Amino acid sequence: MIKETSFAIEVAHLTVSYNAKPALLDVNVKIEADQLVGVIGPNGAGKSTFIKAILGFVKPDLGTVKIQGTHVKNAKGRVAYVPQRGAVDWDFPITVREVALMGRFQKIPWYTSPRKKDRDAAMEALEMVRMTDFAHRQIGELSGGQQQRVFMARALAQGSDILLLDEPFAGVDAATERAILEVLERAKRSGKTLVVVHHDLSTAAEYFDKLLLIKQRLYAYGEPYMVLNEDLLSQVYEGKLKIFKDVLKKEGN
């Protein structure tokens, strides 16, 4: 490739299935750099699978994923990941500081231990999310919002340009949601691309620059006012649309 592409993530014909059940079908999307992108869709729509395919954790049956123009296989470590809260073992014997330090593992050669500069970088990342006071706590002792911030610190310590977050707003209170959003926006301002799986349609337009509506297939990708459109939502959410009527009204459709 001669010229560097301006897209952070390029997904072409992505098809993933688990035991003959399709999770994603022929998804094509190009995500520009420096955006805060929300991934929305009903339960079981393949949102998490989409994230895992971009990470290169699930192998697609068909199609390709490119990170900054490079095939995902050769782009390891360029994408940082914040897991869903339910996917983490909170009883794991590990402290906040050690989780943040994991963000540095990709930069440490396999034969050496983490050095001082790695530890410093981890602490710096914790500082960014205001969690230094909790550095020596076991992760299960924190509140939901604090736990989320620790994993954000880990992602920031990785220094990747692209961050993927799986439902960071699930199960946190309104104040924490604000605090997390603030960290996301700060990351965006420092030139990062963020792709965030999101559940709550009523806040989607307010939080994100672009939305990606998915249910096995890609239904729409673009500005929130284009995506939050009654026809599209009724196709994707079927009977459950009533709840979202007022959301649409709020968006002025």
Q: How far apart are CA 19 and CA 36, in angstroms?
A: 33
Interaction between residue 105 and other proteins (CB under 8 A): yes
Residue with tokens 């914790």: 126
Q: Least distance from C-beta 242 to other proteins, angstroms?
A: 27
* The residue count for the chain: 253
Site string for other proteins, 110-149 (x = CB under 8 A): xx-xx-----------------------x-----------
Q: Least distance from C-beta 138 to other proteins, angstroms?
A: 4
Interaction between residue 35 and other proteins (CB under 8 A): no
Q: Is the CB of 44 or the CB of 77 nearer to other proteins?
A: 77
The one-letter amino acid at 1? M
* Choices 3-11, 103-111, 229-237, 242-250; region in contact with other proteins by CB under 8 A: 103-111
Site string for other proteins, 46-85 (x = CB under 8 A): ------x--xxx------------------xx-xxx-x--
Q: Count of alpha carbons within 13 Å of 42, Cβ hemisphere only?
A: 15
Q: Is the CB of 63 or the CB of 83 nearer to other proteins?
A: 83
Q: Within a 10 A sphere around the Cβ of 177, how many other Cβ atoms?
A: 18
- 62 φ, ψ to 5°? -145, 160
Contacting other proteins (CB under 8 A), which of 17, 70, 106, 203? 106
Q: Least distance from C-beta 29 to other proteins, angstroms?
A: 19
Contacting other proteins (CB under 8 A), which of 26, 34, 61, 98? 98
Q: Is the CB of 25 or the CB of 75 nearer to other proteins?
A: 75
8 A C-beta contact, residue 180 and residue 152: yes
| Residue 225 CB contacts under 8 Å (≥ 6 apart), including other chains | 205, 251, 252, 253
Q: Least distance from C-beta 158 to other proteins, angstroms?
A: 8
- Closest to 13 in 3D by CA, of 23, 24, 25, 26: 26
Q: Least distance from C-beta 208 to other proteins, angstroms?
A: 22
Give, as one character, the DSSP assignment of residue 85. G
Q: How far apart are CA 101 and CA 121, in angstroms?
A: 8
Q: How far apart are CA 50 and CA 106, in angstroms?
A: 23
Q: How far apart are CA 204 and CA 199, in angstroms?
A: 8
Q: Least distance from C-beta 166 to other proteins, angstroms?
A: 9
Q: Is the CB of 38 or the CB of 103 nearer to other proteins?
A: 103
The distance in angstroms from the start CA to the end CA of the chain is: 42
Tell me which residues touch other proteins (CB under 8 A).
19, 52, 55-57, 76-77, 79-81, 83, 87-89, 92-95, 98, 102, 105-106, 108, 110-111, 113-114, 138, 154, 158
